[in-house]
Amino acid sequence: MHAKPTGRSGFTYIELTITMLVMGILGAIAIPTYVSTLANYRANLAASRIVADLHYARSEAQRNSLIRNVVFNTGSNSYTLTGVADTDHSTNNYIVNLVDAPFSATLVSATFGAYATVTFDRYGRPDNTGTVVVQSGSVQKTITLAADGTATLL
């Protein structure tokens, strides 16, 4: 014959409560770190895209021996490469919206002399040096454009 088990199997209310409490504490510790890491990643991603697009506008100016502008718009958190076709849709202008995924960033400022526009001549030289500042969460990144047309993420 088989003996009947005398005790009940399962978890007690106290065990479940302690487990949930420990998970809550671990979550409270992990979430701020995750949010900070995500903001840093997004700010770096947006800044790296701007650096790449400044180099792209410069190379397009040199390649075609034509003037190319990069027009920054802090109001719409976007920038446009004038005279350059969108890489996905050749009939559209090359526009990058920084508020869209994957960037989820804002364009804090763009200053090239007195303007938010930089013009590359047919040799790839900018008309002004300048800086662009982007932000995601509390993380800001600054891009500088040198007189030789080199863009650098600080």
The answer to whether the bond into 102 is cis (omega within 30° of 0) is: yes
pLDDT tens digit at each of 154 positions of the chain: 566 666 667 778 888 898 999 988 888 887 777 777 889 999 999 999 999 999 999 999 999 999 999 999 999 999 999 988 777 766 678 999 999 989 999 999 999 988 999 999 999 999 999 999 999 999 999 999 999 999 999 8
Q: What is the pTM of this model?
A: 0.79
Which pLDDT does position 54 carry in this prediction? 96
Residue range of the domain that includes 141: 13-153
Could you give the CA distance from residue 89 to residue 67 in angstroms, rounded to a whole number?
A: 21
How many Å apart are CA 61 and CA 33, to the nearest integer? 42
How many alpha carbons lie under 13 Å from residue 47 in its C-beta half-sphere?
A: 25
Asked whether residue 30 is domain-assigned, the answer is yes
**Does residue 5 lie in a domain region?**
no
End-to-end CA separation in angstroms for the chain: 78
pLDDT the model gives residue 6: 64
Q: Is residue 114 part of a domain?
A: yes
Domain CATH for 103: 3.55.40.10
What pLDDT, on a 0 to 100 scale, did the predictor assign at position 125?
95
Tracing tokens 């993420």 back to the chain, one arrives at 153
Question: Is 141 a member of any domain?
Answer: yes
For residue 96, report the phi and psi dihedrals to the nearest 5 degrees.
-120, 120
**How many structural domains compose the chain?**
1
